[in-house]
Structure 1
Amino acid sequence: MLIVSLIERLAIITTIAFILTRFKFFRKLFDYHTKMSTKQRITLTLVFGLFGIVGTYTGIVINPLEGSEERWSSSLTHDEALANSRVLGIVVGGLLGGFRIGFGAGLIAGVHRFFLGGFTAVACGFATLVAGFIAGIIGHKLRKQTFISPWIALIVGIVTESIQMGLILLIADPYSQSSALVQNIMLPMVVTNGVGSALFILIIRSVLKDDDQTEANGAQKALKIAESTLDHLRGGLSYTSAQNVCEIIYSKTSTLAVSMTNKDTILAHIGAESNHHKAGSPIQTESTKKVINSGKMLTIGKEEILCSETNCSLGAAIMAPIKIQNETVATLKIYVQNENLVTPALVELVQGLSGLFSHQLELSELEQLQELAKEAEIKALQAQVNPHFLFNAMNTIVSLIRTNPDRARTLLVSLAKFIRQNVENSSDSLVPLHKEVELIRYYLLIEEARFGDRIQVKYSIDPNTLDISIPPMGILTLVQNSFKHGLQKVKENGVIEISIKDEGHFITISVLDNGIGIDASRKSSLLHDKVESEDGTGIGLYNLHERLKKMIHHSDGLHIESDKNGTVISFIIPKTIHKLEVKEFS
């Protein structure tokens, strides 16, 4: 039967439609959120015009005089006509693309049909143009209101095919032959073209709906992850915050591993192969450096990961930049087993997360700068010498002038150098470690003279660390804290030890004393509340803790261990501190 043959042809057309919807470029043509460009209109016109031509070529040749049917013909004799699905592509093009696309596709397919020949060439060619015009007008009216429904496509397909039958009766000659043809093909063609148009729209609508759902799911997942990481990134990007963020992403995605880096160091790596992709290690891949330098996202395969372990399971990665004020300061990396698992949805997720993290860090930086602005007096306080210390030092020097003038002279010189260097250092955001150590030695010479044999000072300083930069008065604050609060009441055998250790990619600075220790209740609040010192410089442990966290992204601030046998306060500083990592304030 003719209708069965036409349904077979219809299956070919809809299969082609389904295959096309698998291609991203074709789906983008139906993005109604943006105005269609001239290039898009031309592409759609050609695509749907081609659909009309394919519908013509896949038609069935009909000879109403002989009652014969043939399949797949590239030309027609004068007595032959075609039962086909040409109108299907034209109707869909007009409904989806509007008047210009519908009319253009109808013109292309109509002209082609005219030159194919047959006694219905003029009628069918003109009817194809009319179908594109009608579908285009309806599509233009409805496009601004809603997505075209399959029911509308069904009605338009039936109407335009019926018009074609009427035009064949009016234009084709002889009438008897036209009448016989219409009686034979009208019902099958009207049904198949109407149903085919509806089916075509349904396929496209289903694909676009799936795309929207995928994007919605990806956006929802990205927002959930961003919400979970907000508290961790509020204080900036450090080893601890990066570790927490990577753990959250890893737990909420089906990825092999998640990693974050700054400009030169791996901050965290969670998941597979964490035994050799370790936090604190330098960046290994040129691709990561390329992302940092270019500020653009990359996807790479196993060869570009450049892992030193031959059996490493990391087969592919998506690398996205994290920016502050349009400058890349870190990267987010998602690893999967192979490149086939780098799906568009995963790429969109990584891109969305990197953008959200960038905004979070920018907001964090603004909050930090606002906080630092409120505490701008710290700079002035750094330049001040504690009057209690100054009075005690002068009293000590005065008492030595008669008994030990040489010692008094030495202490006076040390005091002068301490005051001068303290003022000089206060104007800098960072100072070389050797200057800080020199400042501490001047301070301790005076304090040792005051305390006499009650206090013993020990140094354990790696000479390779002395050129590394740190915030000014970072160590001095800890030394002052030990003297004033830890060793003040010690009558004998007091010890204070200053330790600076090279730990590879960072250094650990600690100050130990065997004083009375810190009360547990006070210890818990020291780093979380502003506790002003009664006789300190005004900076205090809390301010130093906050300065370290806010001025240096890599620093987690101070770490305190204390019991009745004494106290150890330490902090970590990366060997290389980038300019972006130090926030100037005034």
Structure 2
Amino acid sequence: MIHLMIMMLERVGIIVILGFILAHMKVFRQHLQHPQGYKGKTVLICIFSLFSMISNYTGIIIRGDEILYNDWVFTIDPSSSIANTRILGVEIGGLIGGPFVGAGVGLLAGVHRFSLGGSTALSCAVSSLLAGVASGCIGLFFRKRHQMVTPRVAALAGISMEALQMFMILVLAKPQADAFALVQMIGVPMMIVNGTGSFIFLSIIQSIIRKEEQAKAVQTHRVFSIADQTLPFFRQGLNEASCKSAARIIHEMTGTDAVSITDRENILAHVGEGAGHHIPSRSLITGLSKKVIKTGKVMKVKSRDEIECTHHACPLQAAIVLPLISNQQTIGTLKLYFKSPAGLNQVAEELAEGLAMLFSTQLELGEAELQSKLLKDAEIKALQAQVNPHFLFNAIHTISALCRTDAEKTRKLLLQLSVYFRSNLQGARQLLIPLSKELNHLEAYLSLEQARFPGKYTIEFHIEDGLECLEIPPFILQLLVENALRHAFPKKQKVCTVKVYVCSERDGVLMKVSDNGRGINPDMLEQLGKAQSSSKEGNGTGLYNLNQRLTGLFGRQASLDMKSEPGKGTEVSIKIPFQAGREGNGDAQGFNR
């Protein structure tokens, strides 16, 4: 029995070696991990059927109680049988591929065993089919639970399937006494050897698959790390500054000998070997890059001639060139260079292709982000341009009326009018301006309004020191004050006061304009700033546009907050978060009028 077990272990070694070789083949691993569809299952059936047939050919002939030495078995005497590892291939096929694969392998292996003849030909053929179906059901049980069959389970299954074969020999083989003697002789060795072989076979396969998955995880982590670090640069588009920073990161994290990024005509960045003659902005792209831009396909070269570098001492011998695509157009290339063709291996190729796809996505996102920003800027400019045209006519009418009575005051008002419209033009070209400029703009506006209505309004300024360099959207305070002067006060009200506050708080700057006017009806108060609403005094466009500008620039946290009580006045406040602007170190003037 011990002698037979040693001989069978030698046969198992052949199958294990074949399994080790196959496990390193990419095609086999793909079908092994994802045996979906008839094509994948057919491949597994063919492979494991071949294992089982080799086991039949390398079986050990048993005649009575005698073990015969042989190399390959092609025919078996009717009075003899063989001890082999056929069930190992059938069982592993079923565990990995499921009932369909197990039944296919069992059928082919059984027919082949039956064709060799011998006293146990029929029982071995039937047991092969049954073992394939049974092991396939075990594999299906684990797959439905999204689990892999462990080597321990494979070993137990191998022992069980071999026990099933011994049972079928006792049931079908004739004469009964010879069948019993055969099982007594080969049963235990075959169960132990097949169980051990199943354990080793599945351990090898799982070890290689696990190693590949770990390598993929490491590669994926590296790709995403590179993408994360280069994201801020590629979102700026393809320019020399952004590409140089991105190329340096790629070069450091991939271990390539050089990295180059180009647009459709010039090298934008080159880091690493060959930097002395691959000079950004002064070097045109090579013929290789032109081919990639034209075709939009990845190209790999492994010689200096194929790189098409014109410098005679260029150390770069191999390269992979990948297209950078935005909006379905190739806008540039990413090139990874190597000093030796051996560096351009499969790992480097997969890494480069992953990076090119991510970088193309980043470029598209950057372009979309830029277009969105330009659109928002255009909307804000359009809103800022909606200045009340009647103000100009009223100011000119007031100044013309003063020309004959007060020349000095007329001169000052003309200067204030020029300040107002100069500020208006500058503000329409900027998203943010210093608070000091906004206050100058407001002071010019108030000078003109108070000239129209002498002594009617009292304006009080309460500006916290040190905020004059704080950047805010233009026309905010001027619009709120203008709104108060035009709509807050009844014609017969004697004391018309407007107060302007600007002060810092914990997480932002609070700007507030309040009046002691008539107040706002609660029903109308809910709509102001949120939608254009018609009334006798106006349609609410100014506050609505202002609210749109604020939320467009800073989000909902900077929207208008309005409080009002009929007969007591109105208070409109805006809170701008600190990160939106920046504070200066100077001292702001406080104005009291």
User: Residues 60 and 68 of structure 2 are in contact (CA less than 8 Å); yes or no, is this contact kept in structure 1?
Assistant: no
Q: Which residue is equivalent to 1:39?
A: 39
Residues 341, 82 of structure 1: alpha-carbon distance in 2 compared, 3 angstrom cutoff? farther
Deviation, structure 1 residue 38? 1.6
Q: Where does residue 498 of structure 1 map in the other structure? A: none
CA–CA distance in 2 between the matches of 1:221 and 1:98? 35
| Whole-angstrom CA distance in 2 between matches of 1:90 and 1:300 | 44
Partner residue in 2 for 1:264: 265
Establish whether residue 95 from structure 1 lines up as the match of residue 89 from structure 2: no
Structure 2 CA distance for aligned equivalents of residues 250 and 20 of structure 1: 35
SS for the counterpart of 1:132 is helix
**Distance between the aligned counterparts of 1:128 and 1:244, measured in 2?**
63
Kept in 2: contact 1:61–1:72 (CA 8 A): no
Quick one: which of 314, 317, 341 aligns to 1:315? Answer: 317
Distance 1:245 1:58, change over 3 A: same
2:335 corresponds to: 333
> Which residue of the partner structure matches residue 122 of structure 1?
122
Question: If the length of structure 2 is used for normalisation, what is the TM-score?
Answer: 0.62
> Is contact 2:56–2:73 with CA below 8 Å preserved after alignment?
no
CA–CA distance in 2 between the matches of 1:11 and 1:156? 19
1:231 partner amino acid: P
- What amino acid is aligned across from residue 338 of structure 2 in structure 1? V
Given that residues 61 and 71 in structure 1 are in contact (C-alpha distance below 8 angstroms), is that contact kept between their aligned partners in structure 2? no
Residues 473-511 of structure 1: CA deviation (Å, up to 9, x unaligned): xxxx9xxxxxxxxxxxxxxxxxxxxxxxxxxxxxxxxxx
> Secondary structure, in 3 states, of the residue corresponding to 1:78?
coil
Structure 1 residue 311 displacement after superposition: 4.5
Tell me if structure 1 keeps the 8 A contact 2:60–2:67: no
Task: State the Cα deviation string for residues 450-470 of structure 1 (Å, max 9, x = none).
Answer: xxxxxxxxxxxxxxxxxxxxx
2:359 corresponds to? 357
1:5 paired with 2:43, answer: no
Partners of 1:59 and 1:311 in 2: CA distance: 63
Counterparts in 2 of 1:372 and 1:49: CA distance versus 1, 3 Å: same
8 Å contact kept, 2:52–2:85: yes
Where does residue 582 of structure 1 map in the other structure?
A: none
Q: Which amino acid aligns with 2:325?
A: K
Alpha-carbon displacement from aligned partner over 1:417-452 (angstroms, at most 9, x marks no partner)? xxxxxxxxxxxxxxxxxxxxxxxxxxxxxxxxxxxx
Counterparts in 2 of 1:79 and 1:233: CA distance versus 1, 3 Å? same
**1:281-322 Cα distance to aligned partner (Å, 9 max, x none):** 112133x33322332323221142123344433222222222
Which amino acid in structure 1 is aligned with residue 194 of structure 2? N
Q: Which amino acid aligns with 2:328?
A: N
- For the residues of structure 1 that align with 2:473 and 2:267, how far apart are their CA atoms? 33
Question: Could you say if the C-alpha distance between residues 221 and 97 of structure 1 is closer, same or farther in structure 2, counting changes exceeding 3 Å?
Answer: same
Amino acid at match of 1:341: G
Cα distance in 1 for residues equivalent to 2:111 and 2:74: 14
Q: 1:12 to 1:296 in 2, by over 3 A?
A: same
Render the CA deviation track for 1:335-366: whole Å, top value 9, x for unaligned. 22333333332222212211111121111111
Three-state SS of the structure 2 residue aligned to 1:20 is: helix
Aligned residue number for residue 254 of structure 2: 253
Corresponding residue SS for 1:376: helix
Whole-angstrom CA distance in 2 between matches of 1:247 and 1:365: 22
Distance 2:374 2:349 in 1: 37
CA distance in 2 between counterparts of 1:66 and 1:90 reads 27
- Give the gaps of 5 or more residues in structure 2: 383-428, 430-468, 476-593
Structure 1 residues 108 and 311, CA gap change in structure 2 (3 angstroms): farther
Q: SS where residue 259 of structure 1 aligns?
A: strand
Identity of aligned residues (%): 39
The answer to whether the 8 A contact 1:226-1:353 is kept is yes
Q: Residue 215 of structure 2 corresponds to which residue in structure 1?
A: 214
Cα 1:311/1:9, change in 2 over 3 Å: farther
Q: Is the 8 A contact 2:151 2:202 kept in 1?
A: yes
Amino acid in the other structure paired with 1:333: K
Q: Does 1:291 align with 2:292?
A: yes
After TM superposition, what 4+ stretches of structure 1 lie above 6 angstroms from structure 2?
377-380, 528-532
The whole-number CA distance in structure 1 between the counterparts of 2:308 and 2:126 is 63
The verdict on how the C-alpha distance between 1:375 and 1:161 changes in structure 2, with shifts beyond 3 A counting, is: same
The 5-angstrom pairing of residues 132-171 of structure 1 reads 132-145=132-145, 146-171=147-172
The 1:334/1:66 distance shift into structure 2, 3 A limit, reads same
| Distance of aligned partners of 1:96 and 1:284 in 2 relative to their CA distance in 1, 3 Å threshold | same
The superposition leaves residues 153-194 of structure 1 with CA deviations (integer Å, 9 ceiling, x where unpaired) of 111100000111111121111223222222221122111111
Tell me if structure 1 keeps the 8 A contact 2:91–2:135.
Answer: yes
Q: What is the TM-score when the length of structure 1 is the normalising length?
A: 0.62
| AA aligned opposite 1:63 | R
Q: Does 41-50 or 54-63 show the bigger shift? A: 54-63
Separation in 1, partners of 2:474, 2:297: 45
Report what 2:230 is aligned to.
229
From the superposition, tell whether residues 174 and 289 of structure 1 become closer, same or farther in structure 2 (CA, over 3 Å): farther
C-alpha distance in structure 2 between counterparts of 1:249 and 1:237, whole Å = 15
Q: Which residue in the other structure is 1:26 paired with?
A: 28
CA distance in 1, matches of 2:185, 2:122: 19
Q: Does the residue aligned with 1:30 lie in a helix, a strand or coil?
A: helix
Aligned to 1:74: 74
Higher alpha-carbon deviation: 229-238 or 65-74: 65-74
Kindly provide the amino acid, as one letter, of the partner of residue 33 in structure 2. Answer: D
Unaligned runs of 5+ in 1: 381-476, 478-524, 533-586
**Corresponding residue for residue 411 of structure 2:** none
Distance 1:331 1:366 in 2: 20
CA deviation after TM superposition for structure 1 residue 224, in Å: 0.8
Cα offsets for 1:228-275 (capped at 9, x unmatched): 112212211111111111100111122111111112222111111222
**Which residue of structure 1 lines up, in the alignment, with residue 399 of structure 2?**
none
Name the CA distance, whole Å, in 2 between partners of 1:223 and 1:366: 21
Match of 2:206 in 1: 205
Q: Which whole-Å CA distance do the structure 1 matches of 2:227 and 2:66 have between them?
A: 72
Which residue matches 2:410? none
* Residue matched to 2:183: 182
Equivalent residues in 2 for 1:397-416 (5 A)? none
Aligned to 1:370: 372
Shift of 1:379: 10
Please show how residues 443-482 of structure 1 align to structure 2 within 5 Å. Answer: none
Matched, 1:172 2:173: yes
Pick aligned residue for 2:348 from 346, 349, 352: 346
Aligned counterparts of 1:232 and 1:531: Cα–Cα separation in 2: 30
Kindly indicate whether the alpha-carbon contact (under 8 Å) linking 2:127 and 2:168 is maintained by their aligned counterparts in 1.
Answer: yes
SS of the counterpart of 1:70?
coil
Structure 1 residues 245 and 133, CA gap change in structure 2 (3 angstroms)? same
Q: Verify: 1:131 aligned to 2:139, yes or no.
A: no
Two-structure CA RMSD over aligned residues (Å) = 2.6
Aligned-partner SS, 2:32: coil
The letter for the 1-side match of 2:162 is: E
SS in 2 for 1:29: helix
Partner Cα separation in structure 1 for residue 246 and residue 263 of structure 2: 14
Of 8-17 and 93-102, more deviation after overlay is shown by 8-17
The answer on whether the counterparts of 2:260 and 2:267 sit within 8 Å (CA) in structure 1 is yes
Structure having the higher Rg: 2
Distance 1:180 1:68, change over 3 A: farther
For residue 162 of structure 1, what is the amino acid of its counterpart?
Answer: A
Paired with 2:210 and 2:202, the residues of 1 have a C-alpha distance of 12
String of CA shifts for 1:130-163, please: whole Å, max 9, x gaps: 1111111111121122011111111110000011
Corresponding residue number in structure 2 for 1:397 = none
Asked whether the equivalents of residues 61 and 67 of structure 2 are also in contact (C-alpha less than 8 Å), the reply is: no
> In structure 2, how many angstroms separate the alpha carbons of the residues matched to 1:256 and 1:379?
48
One-letter code aligned to 1:23: M
Return the offset for 1:378.
11
Measure the CA separation in 1 of the matches of 2:62 and 2:97: 32
